[in-house]
Structure 1
Amino acid sequence: MNRFPTRRTAVAAMLVLATAAAHAAGFPSKTIRLLVGASAGGTTDTLAREIAEDMTKTLGQPVIVENKPGAGGNIAAQEVARAPADGHTLLVSFTSHTMNASLFKKLPYDPVADFTPIALLAQVSSVLVTRTDAPFQSLADVLAQGRKEKQGLTFAIGGTGSSLHMDTYEFELASGVKVTQIPFKGTSPALADVLAGHVDLMFAPVNGARPLIQSGKLRALAVAGTKRIAAFPDAPPITEQIPKYTTNYGWFGVLGPAKLPADVTRALNAAVNKAMQQPRVKARLEADGSTPELGTPEQFGTFLAADLKHWASQTKAFGIKPE
């Protein structure tokens, strides 16, 4: 998936114009709700709260975060899809928003047609980890051992249907190494079994794995992207050893109901982009292995359409049937 051009100077110049035009039209006229389809304390929730603080200052009305976890983000998405198209109810979405179209036979909404793209916040890659006393010192060791083992290597799955799960499928497909997937009900129990030596490896979220890597309990073997990241500068990109590997980037973005007025959409885009430029937000994202993004609503719309096709292609290649 192509990265957006940042155009930071142009974005900064448009902030005042966009927000002033919206204020003149009477937006916002009340509290803005940012719905998050995940539990409090996670990466999506934390990011939503970071941008809400700055958006409140920019827009002159309270911007509050409401957690609506469940069904892979579907509950929150459905509420926003049915909300009035006035810009006061928004969705802080993540990867499952487009992925779910390939995992579920029927969704209660169309992930593209029923929403107005506002802004892409960030893209994030995962990290391949093992315990430090495992026999793997590098990804090359993993590949060599995996090709010897008839039973294959065991991989912990911290979230069925997540981008981390798709990373595991992609590893097996691109490397030719047999993989036995061990599903867990969340990242924490999956990491615990990797630490205990019950499972060989795991694609883990950067923010969840970082403390364990820094404390010397886990080893970062590779990052699931095409370049190194600041969080793990010594971990090479997985494509150095597996050139055919297709990175399944996770992402975060802001959506509104379909048919938001253009001036409201522009004002929200400007407020979100301004929030994303705050040093504390950028520092948090980079520490979590994320790449902050700045772009227009139209660019985010193009991204969503491409991501929808990406997951359809991936799930087909992996033989995953929608439920």
Structure 2
Amino acid sequence: MTFNRRTTLSLLTVLCSLFVTASAQADAYPSKPVTLLVPYPAGGLSDVIARTVNNTLSKNLGQTVIVDNLGGASGSIAAQKVLNAPADGQIIFQGSPNELILAPLAISAVKFKSEDFRLVQMIATAQIAFLARKDLPVNSVDEFLVYAKKEAQAGRPITYASVGPGSFYHLLGEHLSKVTNIPMTHVPYKGAAPANQDLMGSQVDIFLAPFGKAYEELQKQGKLKVLAMLNSERLESVKDYPAISESKSLKNFTFNIWTGYFVKKDTPEPVVQVIHKAITDSLSDPAVRSGLAANSQLVAKPLSLKAVDKAYVDGTAQFRAIAKSIDLQPQ
């Protein structure tokens, strides 16, 4: 009985200590400004999303949230920076399957795994646009395929941009080439901003990219063409553009991609809970919702931490399957 009583008291002491420690961690975090790390250069859609959210997130965390842009290697350079830092929640990573699921499969120098990160909350889903240079002599996806086949037969395969080897947009280009049986040449960039510059400068032919309202303005100015959206139907926010399902040859070429906020896997649970609540509250803010919607982002439905964990596991399996379908090999 004495042993059992002592054991019980010891366990209670340990549990109380853990509870106090957890409470202290939650109360102390964040004690200084937090970095919102964006894995692409300033000027692209990822940067716009971060700057739409960061001020409201600052208010909800009670500390300044500073947007930091660090591009390169399909976003894996920024991802590695998170892993090199303490697991204390001071760096929140704005990521997607691009950087955390696909980059480790495509770049041999990347040593981290998807499982080294924890998704805290989804932010938004991006629609994918089929963009073309302004002087490409086509005005629809079906016309593009005819042109691309003719160019390939003449030894001039069309070029497609991506934000890096192994990125989702690289996979989309490879998949497009595979399903149409038309050779195409991949041209990787460090982010959407430099890819857009070369697209507008007619240095690259097409770019399958997350759609933002900036592209709408660029099309109106005659600087590029939006041939279609990779949607199964026309959505109200982009009703002026054909859905890919309206084409004759690529009816089932429908894709989108989500963005979420991540921390290092071993971040203490109380800190994760604080970040999760702050992000969840931010998603209900009218300014955040309207800002995301203005850039054609479909605002994510807030999920519990348990549901978020499952979504990340499922998403990892889904994107690994896409990579396997095109036999993606690390380079």
TM-score bucket of the superposed structures, by smaller chain: 0.7 to 0.9
Give 2:325's aligned residue: 317
8 Å contact kept, 1:130–1:200: yes
8 Å contact kept, 1:222–1:235: yes
Q: Aligned partners of 2:159 and 2:195: how far apart in 1?
A: 9
1:74-153 matches, within 5 Å, as 74-94=76-96, 95-105=98-108, 107-112=110-115, 114-131=116-133, 134-146=136-148, 150-151=153-154
8 Å contact kept, 2:72–2:190: no
Q: Aligned partners of 1:310 and 1:250: how far apart in 2?
A: 11
Following TM superposition, by how much is the alpha carbon of 1:322 offset from its aligned partner in structure 2, in angstroms? 0.2
8 Å contact kept, 2:52–2:291: no
Q: Which of 237, 256, 267 pairs up with 2:243?
A: 237
Q: Aligned partners of 2:24 and 2:222: how far apart in 1?
A: 52
1:233-261, CA deviations, whole angstroms, 9 ceiling, x for partnerless residues?
Answer: 222222333234252x3332111122333
1:239-293, CA deviations, whole angstroms, 9 ceiling, x for partnerless residues?
Answer: 333234252x333211112233333322211211221222332233223332111
Report SS of the residue matched to 1:320. Answer: coil
Structure 2 vs 1, CA of residues 101 and 220 (structure 1 numbering), >3 Å: closer, same or farther? same
8 Å contact kept, 1:30–1:62: no
Following TM superposition, by how much is the alpha carbon of 1:157 offset from its aligned partner in structure 2, in angstroms? 1.1
Give 2:281's aligned residue: 274
Q: Which of 227, 231, 254 pairs up with 2:233?
A: 227
Give 1:254's aligned residue: 261
Give 2:45's aligned residue: 43
User: What code does the residue aligned with 1:226 have?
Assistant: S
TM-score, normalization by structure 2: 0.77
8 Å contact kept, 1:210–1:231: no
Report SS of the residue matched to 1:54. Answer: helix
1:166 lines up with 2:168 in the alignment: no
Structure 2 vs 1, CA of residues 315 and 282 (structure 1 numbering), >3 Å: closer, same or farther? same
- Name the count of aligned residue pairs: 301
Following TM superposition, by how much is the alpha carbon of 1:230 offset from its aligned partner in structure 2, in angstroms? 4.9
Q: Aligned partners of 1:146 and 1:29: how far apart in 2?
A: 53
8 Å contact kept, 1:115–1:255: yes
Report SS of the residue matched to 1:38. Answer: coil
Q: Aligned partners of 1:59 and 1:190: how far apart in 2?
A: 34
User: What code does the residue aligned with 1:154 have?
Assistant: I
Q: Aligned partners of 2:90 and 2:269: how far apart in 1?
A: 14
Q: Aligned partners of 2:191 and 2:278: how far apart in 1?
A: 33
Following TM superposition, by how much is the alpha carbon of 1:197 offset from its aligned partner in structure 2, in angstroms? 5.4
Q: Aligned partners of 2:134 and 2:72: how far apart in 1?
A: 34
Following TM superposition, by how much is the alpha carbon of 1:229 offset from its aligned partner in structure 2, in angstroms? 4.3
Following TM superposition, by how much is the alpha carbon of 1:101 offset from its aligned partner in structure 2, in angstroms? 1.9
1:99-150, CA deviations, whole angstroms, 9 ceiling, x for partnerless residues?
Answer: 11211235343222x2232111112132112345544232232234445553
Give 1:11's aligned residue: none
Give 2:63's aligned residue: 61
1:18-37 matches, within 5 Å, as 25-31=26-32, 32-37=34-39
Q: Which has the larger radius of gyration?
A: 2
TM-score, normalization by structure 1: 0.78
Question: Whose helix proportion is higher, 1 or 2?
Answer: 2
Give 1:8's aligned residue: none
Q: Aligned partners of 2:233 and 2:95: how far apart in 1?
A: 25
8 Å contact kept, 2:35–2:68: yes
Unaligned runs of 5+ in 2: 1-21
8 Å contact kept, 2:73–2:164: no
Structure 2 vs 1, CA of residues 200 and 283 (structure 1 numbering), >3 Å: closer, same or farther? same
Q: Which of 294, 302, 310 pairs up with 2:310?
A: 302
1:183-240, CA deviations, whole angstroms, 9 ceiling, x for partnerless residues?
Answer: 5565456545555656543324423533211223333211123333455322222233
Unaligned runs of 5+ in 1: 1-20
8 Å contact kept, 1:170–1:246: no
CA RMSD between the two structures: 3.1
Report SS of the residue matched to 2:42. Answer: coil
8 Å contact kept, 1:154–1:182: no
Q: Aligned partners of 1:67 and 1:195: how far apart in 2?
A: 23
